[in-house]
Structure 1
Amino acid sequence: MKAKIKILLTLLTIVCQTTFAQEIKVSGKVLDKLNSEPLEYATIIFIAVEDASKISGGITNEKGGFNITIAKGSYDIKVEYIGYTPYEIKNKTLTENTSLGTISLSEDAQALSEVVITSEKKLVSTKFDKKIYNVSKDLTTQGSNALEALNNVPSVNVSTNGGITLRGSGNIRILVNGKPSGLVGISNTQALERLQANSIESIEVITNPSARYDAEGASGIINIILKKGRVQGFNGSVQAVVGNPTNYGISANINYRKEKFNVFANGSYAYVKTPGDGFANTVYKDENNITTGFLNERSTQKRGGHNFMFAFGSDFYFNDNNTLTFMGLVTKEDNDNVGDIIFDTYGSDSNLLHTRLRTDNENEQDASNEFSLTYESFFDEEKEHVLTVAAKYDSNKEDEHSFYNDTFIFGTGADAKDRATTLETQSNLLFQADYIFPFTENGMIEAGYKSNFRDVSYNFTVEEFDSNANIWNTNTDLSNQLDYIENIHAIYGQYANKFGKFNILVGARIEVSDIDINYFTTNTFLKKNYTNIFPTLHLGYELSENDELKASYSKRIKRPGFWELNPFSSFTNDLNLESGNPDLNPMFTNSYELGYLKNWEQVNLNATTYFQHSTGLMQTVTTQTGRFTEDDIPILISKPLNIGTENRYGLEISTTYKPNSWLQINADANVFGYQQKGNFLNKVEDPNNQGSFIDVPETIDFSSSSWFARVAPKFQLPKDFDIQLRMIYNGDFKESTSYRKSVFVTNIAVNKELFDGKGSLNLSVSDLFNSRISRIENYNTSFSSYGKYQNAKRQVNLTFTYRFRNFKEKSIDEEEDDDDE
């Protein structure tokens, strides 16, 4: 019996060894022949020569690569990609691990002219170091702007007042096409509100960037990629939108491509008026916690106007390995913003003292220009050994004129007229070079240099009207002028390699920051210089073909911005001022992540836990100014301070579930918490000297947690109808001096394809239940307040899109050849 068992085991061993010995791996890469871009989801098919019924194969990854296990033998190999001419290899004998090298596919003009191609892009895809949100795949963004599109991106949250956070933190860096841009402007939120979502190809979220990226942005980077057509022939789309509240717009994307060049353009015009309202009730107390007065504020506003954007450029293909790209961008805006604030002032006995109406009529004209030149040179067929050199210049100008009228409706008080003029100009000059050298099939060394020269000029003038003399007098206490110069130079290097199932990316970046501020009003000069090293480490381990572990570390910085260093106050609300702080220093963050990625046939799951430790924490703190109105109402001021340290931690989960051909569900959730420790000086009334104020140290030892979640089901219905819902929930959020209550928002869109897929009609409703309302409590030892604000109402948009493609072009020589035949 034992002899039989030994014989059986021996036979099984031989069979197993023979079976595994018969398997080999075939690898390679599939690229677009004209621009050498990788073709993701290309199909590689192996058909056995001796038996055509035996077929095996696979698809390419995001880099165009493939690594397929097949049995030894002779095969007919076919490489296919929709709209491209197939590539075939006949009767190829494969007896060992083989690389087919780089396979370049050419577009099939005839096939593309006869077939309507449906994009295979996912709404959200996950790469090794980032998440990519494809804007065009989200029906709810049709006819909207970039800020609304950002609110649909995993990990990103946009508050009701336009504040952008990444995993609950506002310390982020926003780029356009991978670089700082004048399109974002001096004020991120304002510019993104006016950038049409139809102009955006995708949005990348990089929570723990490698050394290749700027170290700016303590919590990560948001990179907005604009559309840039590269399809052969003449192609494009036009889109028109009409909406309520007022939203009218038209946009177009076109490109014309031949073998040696590609020309592309993207333009949009929109007229938008966004209404909003809110209120805030404040209670003032003295050092003994006795109420001294009340202030109720009610506000309405309508913001917006005309805005125009035109992006254009060209690719010049000198040969297969050398490309020169030029891009330009021009934007213009002309906005008329109106707002009213009613102040009801009460005494400590709750008796109404007076009611004041403050009206604000503002005209804002903004313009920006941007031009870039990029040269890319490849030194190998695989397009992995590459040198990229780029230069970019952009400028931005904001010209605002505001007129304020104060009228006392009830009680006594002097009516007043004020006006404010703001002129801001900004210019950026950037030089950058990156070099990648692949020293083995999986190994790579990368190095680069970058310099960015930024110059901001700010001139703010406040004038008060003297009705007796009928003249305008400058308010020297509020008017100010300054120049801000920021030069940042960086070099970096990183090493990447793969050892079996383990991959590593390690690098370091050195940045030299040189900041000069000239305060003309006070005749003072501020200089800040610091040099810092920012190490990064990314690790990955493939547990199997469908699941992977990844870990990363990076050191980041949050430099004080121009506004945060401007010590002069805003003037919109004369009882609640806002200002910067010239003594503000950078915040540094050490960021750690551990993630797990799993793919099943119908589901993919991405889970990441993270921890961030920050020093020099920046936080906006509201205190008294020590000044009062005529009715003894304290005037408050909010400004950023370095208050201490913060530990931030959380768990983020995102998933895509596609159970069948007509339903796909995207969902993500983020649970996070933090602990802050520090102190600041709080201005309070001197108990020993009534009417005088002193600075008293106040300690912060505070922890809190919150969460937000999104669910977006999409239904494909008969008759070419699609329906998409997006439900967003932001939980309660508490900070050391404020408390924000939860918000739940629902968006819905219905899309109908027309003209055999060439056109579409989209009806979308943003904030279906009109529930996107911010409810905030603020508190200090000297006051407490509760406010409710809605900066944008429910928005209904109807959008029509028409797409066109033309491939049936012939040269004169081709026509003559046809005639000869």
Structure 2
Amino acid sequence: MKKIQSVFLLLLLFTSIGAIAQGNPGNVTISGKLIDQETKQPLEFATVTIQKLDNTTVNGAMTDMNGEYSINIAPGTYNIKYDFISFKSVVVSNRQVNADTNLGTTVMAPDATLLQEVEIRAERSTVDIKLDKKVYNVGQDMIVKGGTISDVLDNVPSVTVDVEGNVSLRGNESVTIMIDGKPSNLYGSNLADVLRVLPADSVDKIEVITNPSARYDAEGGGGIINIILRKGKAQGFNGSVTANTGTPDNHGIMANLNYRGEKFNVFSNLGYNYRNSPGNSMTDSEYFDENGNTTSFINERRENKRKRKGYNATLGFEWYIDSTFSWTNSVSARNSNGDNPTDTYYYNYNADGSFNNTRYRFNSEDEEDRNFNYTTSFLKKFDGDGHELKVDANISRSTDDENSQIRDMILGSTNPDDSSIERTLNYEEEKRTLIQADYVLPFGENNRFEAGYRGSFTQKDTDAKAQILDENNEWQQNGNFSSMLEYNEYVNALYAQYGSKFGSKFSYLLGLRWEDSNIDVNLINRDEYNNKRYNNFFPSAFLTYEFSEGSSASISYSRRINRPRGFFINPFSSLQSNINVFQGNPDLDPSKTNSFDVGYLKKWRDLTLSTSAYLNITEDSFQFVRRTEDALPGQTPVTYSTPINLAKEYRFGFEFTLNYNPFRWWKLNGNFNFFRVETDGDYTWTYTNGNGEEVTDFQNFDNTAYTWFTRVSSKMNLPWKMDWQINGTYNAPQNTAQGRSLGIMHFNTALSKDILKEKATLTLNVSDIFNTRKRKNYTNLPTVSSYSEWQWRERQVTLSFTYRFNMNNQQRMKQERQGQGGDDDFNMGG
């Protein structure tokens, strides 16, 4: 099986490398801009060809994200031809060019006849590579049909999602997730659950920003991932409905409906889903005494039956008060509930390997999440050059109610002391308010000034109880796993940045952000009150050099912060296992990162290459440590996993991303990331052992690890209007201070076909074809050595059906072109 997987990955990797060609520069420049006649939007990646009068091609280029082009040629008389798929070609004949010439704005009209006849359908690139970000267009990815946002992220270049739902960017989990430019925790306090509930079909595109500028929130030492949800842009009533079914149970229906008039736009997103995500885990442990002698063995086997149903609804209204002023309001609500019955077996063996007994633990867990979110936004455009003011306000309320009852027993035993009944009660409530204002002022030829304010105010209360049923059938509190946590976070921020372009080659962007943080972390049940008040400056600097059309390099720097939240600080999470327990740390301090990045971008006609080298230096970085402490005399020691602040982390790496279109019907993209992580720090802790003695333990966490991961995707347009896509991902092994994680390889594939005169699409996808996506770890501690595997979700097969209202292929492509533009970032030449 491993050989087959390796062959799959190598075939995909080899086919992602193409030939590189480059034209010769001349001594005069032809420049201009292309726009869509109907939408007035710039046409990105349109082809501009310079030909002699005998139609011999001299040079050519593609337009950038603003629809602009610039081509170097020798002086002379030429024919200039503009081509863009699904548009009528435009030709400027017998144009004499003896000096630098700007041809102004050229308007291109859609070719409706060509659209009806073409069989290989035009599509935007799945991955759009820019110097400062990568934009992943979800609409063309069949792999995630019927899935969740978590599935979408796991197919994005540079991004990985582990089996627990934790998101990493370039292997760094200190990443900020945003939804429509706003913090994702506005949609719920448990990020992994939010990403697993919201459907993939609600996502338009994903922006990956590895080194954000000062205009962005400073949170997230590893960068920012911005999830942009769908909003209708086409005139009149249009939209789509997607229904899916699968095995294990994966059933749902999703509707994106929109009505747009001259003065307003009403958009909605409605969905229901029911999912069963069975998973499993195993841990084989060998325990030692203080002299290193084996005392016992325990083999733990766990099966999860995660069943969940969820509802989500968003309704929004845009009012175009006049041509320069718009007001948008939206309300969203989400409810998700389910159960996760978990069976855990502990097979206990004596020191000599002989069988002792089997302990069985059953955890019946029920959970309900509710979220309400209201957003209002004003946009005032002062002129047509990007001079604007935008003001946003957001109010969010979330609750998470999780309860479980746990029965623990030794199978075959009649001793009452060999069984117990426990329960956990966990209730979270979060209130969040966000106010943000951004002002943009372009001036002069190539200058731009930006400034803004952001206020983020969060209040979160967590009441977690663990109780055990005594011999009198009364519930007694277990103080070791009970807590009442109050978390208040108030962050006010101001920023300003200035960008300019001098000459035809250099551009720069300089910014400074100031954030004032006032944070309370209070353990009410222990009378522990802790206030953390600090303010910091976060500078950023970007410099770009454009070698030629489609070829540029950049160097950037930014300073970032990562504040601990959620389960990182919550002392108690769950008791699915009572010998391997995760425990948060309320005393965690924020980590701060200095991030450096050097990038290069090159675009050819059929190939785009983006590569970068990066260095992150993080102070007080979060590290998960495992420590073993005795429970009660004669019982198995408990192993705790806890995040702590270590002294320093150095992360250096390089990555490259390739987009290659060898033919119009075949698209390839690949991403490779290699990095080195060095940690420097020690950890000392004190605990009371089973004999009531206070014990101090110490561990040196100095460690250097090398690892890499790669992802390759191939998509083909087949005859009969069918598409086929396959993705392969490999995460290499990595050493840690306490053990080693093994490599993980998995593949996904999908097949789709347009039906009903191209008004509908039928898609079949298989996630984790070989059922190999499992986290595997070796852990070595002084008192225990273990090997573990964990599979959060088993192989999934999903069939989905999408029907589009009042939207044929031509309208689809027009809507996609309108969505190509679209961010307010300063253009750094990419």
Length-normalised TM-score, structure 1: 0.88
Aligned to 1:216: 219
Does the aligned pair in 2 maintain the 1:461–1:480 contact within 8 Å?
yes
Determine which of 610, 634, 639 is the counterpart of 2:637: 634
What is the match of residue 196 of structure 1? Answer: 199
Rounded to whole Å, the distance in 1 between the matches of 2:265 and 2:91 is 28
**Is residue 234–residue 806 contact of structure 1 (8 Å, CA) maintained in 2?**
no
Q: 1:27 aligns with which of 29, 32, 45?
A: 32
Distance (Å, rounded) in 1 between the aligned partners of 2:611 and 2:172: 19
Q: What is the aligned counterpart of 1:327 among 315, 325, 330?
A: 330
| Code of the aligned partner of 1:708 | F
TM-score (norm. length: structure 2): 0.87
Q: How does 1:614-625 map to 2 (within 5 A)?
A: 614-625=618-629
Q: Secondary structure at the match of 1:421?
A: strand
Other structure's SS at 1:521 match = helix
1:512 matches 2:513: no
Once the two structures are superposed, residues 536-590 of structure 1 have per-residue CA deviations (whole angstroms, 9 ceiling, x without a partner) of: 1111111121321111111111111132223346323222222222221111111
What's the counterpart of residue 400 of structure 1? 402
Structure 2 partner of 1:129: 132
Cα distance in 2 for partners of 1:546, 1:101 equals 20
> Of the two, which has the highest radius of gyration?
1
Aligned to 2:311: 308
Structure-1 separation of matches of 2:512 and 2:128: 27
Corresponding residue to 2:161 among 158, 170, 173: 158
Q: Which residue of 2 aligns with 1:389?
A: 391
Structure 1: distance between partners of 2:85 and 2:436 = 36
* 1:562 aligned residue: 566
* Aligned position for 1:730: 731
What SS does the corresponding residue of 2:194 show, helix, strand or coil? helix
The gaps in structure 2 that reach 5 residues or longer are 1-24, 809-830
Q: Is the 8 A contact 2:33 2:42 kept in 1?
A: no
Deviation at 1:114, TM superposition (A): 11
Alignment of 1:711-730 (within 5 A): 711-730=712-731
**Is 613-622 or 410-419 further displaced after alignment?**
410-419
Please state whether the residue corresponding to 1:192 is helix, strand or coil: helix
Q: Judge which range, 560-569 or 213-222, deviates more.
A: 560-569
Q: What residue identity is the alignment partner of 1:405?
A: R
Cα deviation for residue 354 of structure 1 reads 3.0
- Aligned residues of 1:626 and 1:683 also touching (Cα < 8 A): no
Partners of 1:115 and 1:601 lie apart in 2 by: 21
Aligned to 1:771: 772
Moved more, 760-769 or 593-602: 593-602
Letter in 2 for 1:429: T
Pairing of 1:242-257 with structure 2 (within 5 A): 242-257=245-260
SS of the aligned residue for 1:212 comes to coil
1:362-394 deviation digits (Å, cap 9, x = unpaired): 111111111111111122223x11111111111
Q: State the alpha-carbon separation in 2 of the partners of residues 572 and 352 from structure 1.
A: 24
* Structure 2 residue 538 is the aligned partner of structure 1 residue 534: yes
Partner of residue 790, structure 1: 791
How far apart, CA to CA, are the structure 2 residues paired with 1:739 and 1:643? Answer: 19
In the aligned structure 2, how far is the partner of 1:393 from the partner of 1:43?
45
Instruction: Specify whether residues 666 and 47 from structure 1 end up closer, same or farther in structure 2 by C-alpha distance, changes over 3 A only.
Output: closer
Q: Distance in 1 between matches of 2:776 and 2:112?
A: 56
Shift, 1:112, TM fit: 9.3
Deviations 1:647-701 (A, max 9, x none): 1111101101111122221111111111111100145899xx9762421332222
Contact 1:423/1:459 (8 A) holds in 2: yes
Question: What letter matches 1:698 in structure 2?
Answer: Q
Task: Flag the 1:39–1:316 CA change in 2: closer, same or farther, 3 A.
Answer: farther
**Separation in structure 2 between the aligned mates of residue 218 and residue 680 of structure 1, nearest angstrom:** 22
1:775 Cα shift?
Answer: 1.5
Deviation larger for 74-83 or 523-532: 74-83
Amino acid across the alignment from 2:154: N
Checking the alignment, whether the CA contact within 8 Å between 1:708 and 1:731 is kept in structure 2 is yes
Letter in 2 for 1:303: R
Q: Please give the root-mean-square deviation of Cα atoms over the aligned residues, in Å.
A: 3.3
Contact in 1 for aligned 2:256/2:269 (Cα 8 Å): yes
* Residue type at the aligned position of 2:390: T
By how many angstroms is 1:307 displaced?
0.7
Does the Cα contact within 8 Å between 2:86 and 2:111 map onto a contact in 1?
Answer: yes
Contact 2:332 2:372 in 1 (8 A): yes
**More relative contact order in 1 or in 2 (CA 8 Å, sep 6+)?**
2
Tell me which of 353, 356, 360 is aligned to 1:353: 356
Q: Distance in 1 between matches of 2:317 and 2:115?
A: 23
Structure 1 residues 280 and 55: alpha-carbon distance in aligned structure 2, compared to 1, 3 A threshold: closer
Instruction: Tell me the secondary structure at the aligned position of residue 631 of structure 1.
Output: coil
In the superposition, relative to structure 1, how do residues 571 and 677 fare at CA in structure 2: closer, same or farther (>3 Å)?
same
Deviations 1:161-204 (A, max 9, x none): 32221111111111001111346522211111111111111111
Equivalent-residue separation in structure 2 for 1:81 and 1:546 (angstroms): 17
Q: CA deviation at 1:791?
A: 1.6
Select the residue among 227, 230, 233 that pairs with 2:233: 230
Matched residue type, 1:587: S
CA displacement at 1:408 relative to structure 2: 1.8
Aligned partner letter, 2:743: S
**Is the alpha carbon distance of 1:719 and 1:475 closer, same or farther for their aligned partners in structure 2, counting shifts above 3 Å?**
same
Aligned residues: 781
What is the match of residue 680 of structure 1?
683
**Letter of the structure 2 residue corresponding to residue 616 of structure 1:** D
Q: What percentage of residue pairs aligned between the two structures are identical?
A: 36
User: What is the rounded CA distance, in whole Å, between the counterparts of 1:492 and 1:545 in structure 2?
Assistant: 32
Q: Shift of the alpha carbon at 1:765?
A: 0.7
Higher mean alpha-carbon deviation, 772-781 vs 408-417, is at: 408-417
How far residue 763 of structure 1 moved from its aligned partner, in angstroms, is 1.0
Determine the C-alpha separation between the residues in 2 that align with 1:29 and 1:190: 43
> Bigger shift: 93-102 or 472-481?
93-102
Task: Name 2:554's counterpart in structure 1.
Answer: 550
The amino acid of 1:389's aligned partner reads V
Cα distance between partner residues in 2 of 1:259 and 1:83: 26
How far 1:316 sits from its partner (Å)? 1.6
CA contact (8 A) 2:69 2:549 kept: no
Deviations 1:421-448 (A, max 9, x none): 1111112111111111112222111111
SS of the residue 1:627 aligns to: coil
Deviations 1:750-794 (A, max 9, x none): 111212322111111111111112211122122111112222111
Q: What is the Cα deviation at residue 273 of structure 1?
A: 0.5
The answer to whether the 8 Å contact 2:61/2:549 transfers is: no
Indicate the residue corresponding to 1:287 in structure 2: 290
Residue number among 485, 491, 494 corresponding to 1:482 in the alignment: 485
Residue in structure 2 matching 1:181, options 180, 184, 202: 184
Greater Cα offset, 66-75 or 588-597: 66-75
From 123, 126, 132, the counterpart of 1:120: 123
The structural deviation recorded for 1:99 is: 6.1
Measure how far apart 1:326 and its partner are.
Answer: 1.7
SS at 1:624's partner residue?
strand
Give the direction of change, closer, same or farther, for the CA distance of 1:80–1:390 in structure 2 (3 Å limit).
Answer: farther
Aligned equivalents of 2:227, 2:550: Cα separation in 1: 29
Match of 1:241 among 214, 225, 244: 244
What is the correspondence of 1:75-154 to structure 2 with a 5 Å cutoff? 118=121, 120-154=123-157
Question: For structure 1, which runs of at least 5 residues remain unmatched after alignment?
Answer: 1-18, 808-821
CA 434–72 in structure 1, closer or farther in 2 if over 3 Å, else same: farther
Amino acid paired to 1:406: D
1:462 Cα deviation after fit: 2.2
Distance change (3 Å), C-alpha of 1:389 and 1:109: farther
